[in-house]
Structures are given as structure tokens and as C-alpha cells.
Structure 1
Amino acid sequence: MKLKIVIITLVGAIILIACATNPFTGKQTMALPGTENSSLFPAAFQQYDQFLSDNKVIKGTADAAMVTRVGQKIAVAAERWLNANGHVGYLNDYKWEYNLVDDKTVNAWCMPGGKIVVYTGILPIAKGEAGLAAILGHEVAHALANHGQQRMSAGMLQQIGAVGLNVALKDNKNLGLFNQAYGIGTQVGGMLPFSRSHETEADSIGLTLMAIAGYNPDEAAELWKRMSAQSGGQAPPELLSTHPSNDSRIANLTALAPKARAEAKKFGVTSFK
């Protein structure tokens, strides 16, 4: 009887999963109750404000102005693409904000709802607006495709599965071993590939956004060549990483650049920075 209840619970959870659609791919995505934008965005905005208050935000410099300028162009490109593809109003709840933070970390990020941070440490690798557009296009793509929502949903489903299978498992003596195997199996076989697919998807969407914004999509592959050189080849095997390998990324970006350029042409953009 317990097993039957567990199965019904798991099936019910799975049925609830595919209730959102990625506008860029048309595919259904995981969106469990509690991960809707109405809940996710306010929490993200609050965390963003707290982050800014805890860190040194750079204002009034040429670099800070560049971050805002490029970010705004990427946001406009996103709205143009969404409107042209039947998603008018998709960005109504997004509150775009762009900040440069004094930090040597080579990183940038965009929280759900459009809150963007660029660390000063990534600017030497960006080498100007086009490289920064590749970075911001990728980060904004994560927010537009609701990858944060999907990761939360996947984590919830992973927990539901663990609880359900623990209830169903009758061999309590080996419960600890089972949980360890379940954790490793779902991480390597599920969560990590899921994360890598998000990164690849964000690369593809980001290329389109930067091209529509007027930046050469070829620069994305060049950026990652510099990223690879900067890392000195220090990276975990792709199978155990949240991100594709640098080589995989460079090859994929190079292959997708012509498609991004063709998409930009639909919007009258034929020359690039």
C-alpha cells in the first residue's frame, strides 16, 4: 500500500512539471508550484539589493557606463525578438538593472527578473563591448529561459524522489548506502547534464541576442578561447561539471554564429561591432 501511495505521489509530481514553455525553443520546461515568477522575482530582487549593499558597486566610470549600455542593448534585443515571435508582454515583470562590482572574480550573472552584475575581474577577458555582449547575452538568456525556475523544480523533484523511494524501500539496513547511491546517481546522471544543457541553451540564445544588438556573434567563441587560456586548462571533466568543457563550448559557438547572424538580419542588422 505504501509503495502504491509513493508511486501515485511521484506520478502526480511529474504531471505537474511540464507546465511552462521556453519561448526561445518552444519546449515545455519544469515549473513546479512555488517556482512561478510571481514568487521567484520578488525574492531575487531582494537578494540582489542585499548583494549590492554588501559589495562595492562602481559608478560613474567608463566601464560602469559600458556595462549599462551593453546590458540595455541586450535587453532591447530580447524584447524585439520576443515581440516579433508572438511573446508580447513576456518581459512585463522584468526589472532590468545593471551594475559593475569591484571584485577580481572572473564572473558575471543575471538573476531571475533581469538583475545583472558584472565583476571587474571579467572585463580584461571581455576586451571591450563585443566580448561583454557575449557575456551578458549568455547571462540574460538564463533569466529569459527561466533556468532558475527549472533548477529549483529539478531540485524539488530530486527531493521528492528521494523521500518517495526511502518510504518504498523496505531494506532499512541499506538505507544509507541507497541514499548515497541515489544522490550520486541523480547528480551525475540528472542534475549535472541538466545544468550543462542550460549552459548550451544560454549560449545559443545569447548569440542571437548579441547579434540583434549589433555585436559580432563570432566574438563569443573568441571570448571563450580567452577564458580557456585564462583558466590554464584547470577544469573538471565535463561529465562531472555544471558547464560544458571550454573546447565543446568554443566549437558550439563557432557553429552557431552564422545562424545568429542570419537571425539578426531579420531585424535589419547586417553589420556588427
Structure 2
Amino acid sequence: MLSKIKHLTLGIFAFIILSACSTSPTGRSQILLFSDNQLSQMSEQTFNAMKSEIKISNKSIENNYVICIAKHITQQLPDSVFSGNWEVVVFDDPQANAFAMPGGKIGVYTGLLEVASNQHQVAAVIGHEVGHVIAQHGNERMSRSALISAGAQATSAALDAYNVENKATIMQAFGIGAQYLGILPFSREHESESDLIGLELMARAGFDPRESVQLWINMSAANEGKAPPEWASTHPSSETRIRQLNANMSSALSIYDEVSNKPTCK
């Protein structure tokens, strides 16, 4: 009986994985379990909650500057990513960060404008964040978490069925393994992929891709002594990001050189 349940469970997992298989813009295999409509609805709810809970900048200079950069970036996107007008909000918060969500949402924290010293560096961050949307990384992360959760439940049920001793220790090991062998490397892969998508995106928009390297030099200086080791982090180290960006700089510069009407966001 247990064997039949085990095989049925594996069959269901295999069906889900095969039916949800997709490919990222860089050719990497993905599992996407959620629909675009589901993600857009979740993004709308989350974004509205953030706007009600986090102070929004009332400085027109900051807002116009960020909106100008975001507009040039999003103009490079096909309608399949989002066909409407992107909503761009500048949050009055000291963290040097930004984000983009499915359904045309972009948030930039004012702290980023202290680290990203020009329009090109801000464009590198916004391009990177929009890259997450293009590659459907949010969907992929949620899908992977759902599968890991289902796997943990199945493992727990199997341990109970066989009255296995030290269940708590085994489940703890399962959680640690999922974190360090699955979730964290997976997140770093997303970040590296978005760096490369963003590099091309900013170049197509007419922003100097070489400034993406300077951005991470600035980020490294701002985070000196605060960042965890790469193996324990959801993000690649600044050194890794700089190396990967430089390795792909030649093709990005070729695109940038072809852009005749380059932005002047001030």
C-alpha cells in the first residue's frame, strides 16, 4: 500500500513538473506553476499595501528623475511582459534598493539614489529588477517553494508511516539541505540572470552599460563588512557580479553604440 502511495505521489509530482516546464530568456529550464493573472493580482495587492505603509517621496525632482529612467527602460519591453503603463513609485526610505513586480509595478527607494550616482547606474538597477519580471523569477521562486513544501509534507508523512526514529533531526536536515543546496543557489542564479538581462536592457535604452560595474563597486563600498559569504546569501557577491558583467560587456556596448537618441534624465 505504501509503495503504491509513493509511486502515485511521484507520478503526480512528475506530471506537475512536466506540465509546468518553461524556458528562461537565457535558455535555462524553469518550473512555473502560477498564471500571469494570479501573479498580477498578488502584485497589485502587495504594491498597494506598500504604498499605504511606506512613506512616498513628495520631491518632484526625485520622482521625475526615476520615472524618466524607468520609462526609457520599460519602453524596450514587448507587450508580452506588460502591455499597459508601468506604475513607478519612489519610496522615501534609506535602503539602497529597488524592485519590479509583474503587472507593471516598479518601486525605487531613495537610499538607492545615494549609492547610484548617475542615471546610468540607476538604470542598471531598474533594468536588473525588470529583468526578474521578464524571466518570471517570482513565479519560479513561488513554484519551487510550493514543491519543496509538498516534498517536506510527503517526507514527514513517510517518516510517520514507517515510525522512523529521529524524525525531527531528519526534517531539520531536510530544511537545511533545501535552503543551502536549493533555495540559495537558485536565488543567486536568478540574480546573475537578471544582471545579464538588465545589462542588455539598459544598453538598448541608451544607458551606458559600463556604469553597471561602477554601481557594484559603489554597492560593495556601501556594504563593506555587512554582506554574508556568497554561499550563505541569496545574492552573488559584488566581485562575482562585476566579473560576470565584464564578461558580457562587449555585446552590451555594441548595442549601446547603436542607440542614437540617448536619454538625459536629470
Task: Report the TM-score when normalising by structure 1.
Answer: 0.88
In the alignment, what sits opposite 1:127? 117
User: 1:172 and 1:93 mapped to 2: Cα distance?
Assistant: 53
Alignment of 1:1-273 (within 5 A): 1-18=1-18, 19-22=20-23, 24-32=25-33, 35-79=34-78, 89-92=79-82, 96-169=86-159, 170-264=162-256, 268-269=258-259
> What CA deviation, in whole Å up to 9, does each residue of 1:50-85 have, x standing for no partner?
211222212452111011111111111223xxxxxx
> Matched residue of 2:99: which SS?
strand
State how far apart, in whole Å, the 2-side matches of 1:109 and 1:58 are: 16
What SS does the corresponding residue of 2:107 show, helix, strand or coil? Answer: strand
Separation in structure 2 between the aligned mates of residue 100 and residue 155 of structure 1, nearest angstrom: 30
Q: Any idea what the Cα deviations from partners look like across 1:74-114, whole Å, max 9, x if unmatched?
A: 111223xxxxxxxxx41346651111111111111112222
Match in the other structure for 1:86: none
Same amino acid, percent of matched pairs: 38
Q: Distance in 2 between matches of 1:161 and 1:198?
A: 22
Q: Pairwise CA RMSD of aligned residues?
A: 2.0
On the 8 A contact 2:97/2:111 being kept in 1, the answer is yes
- Partners of 1:192 and 1:258 in 2: CA distance: 29
Deviates more, 1:7-16 or 1:125-134: 7-16
8 Å Cα contact 1:131-1:220 kept in structure 2? yes
Gaps of 5+ in 1: 80-88
Letter matched to residue 186 of structure 2:
F
2: CA distance, partners of 1:60 / 1:190: 42
Structure 2 gap ranges (5+) = none
Check the 8 A contact 2:82/2:103 in 1, yes or no: no
- Whichever residue aligns with residue 138 of structure 1, its letter is H
Paired with 2:85 and 2:35, the residues of 1 have a C-alpha distance of 16
Stretch deviating more after TM superposition (230-239 or 4-13): 4-13
Query: Could you say what secondary structure the match of 1:29 adopts?
Result: strand
What amino acid sits opposite 1:6 in the alignment? K
Superposition deviation, residue 37 in structure 1: 1.1
Relative to structure 1, the CA distance from residue 176 to residue 206 in structure 2 (aligned partners, 3 Å threshold; closer, same or farther) is same
Deviates more, 1:132-141 or 1:102-111: 102-111
C-alpha distance in structure 1 between counterparts of 2:90 and 2:23, whole Å? 29
Q: How far off its partner does 1:14 sit? A: 3.5
Q: Secondary structure at the match of 2:167?
A: helix
Give 1:232 shift.
1.3
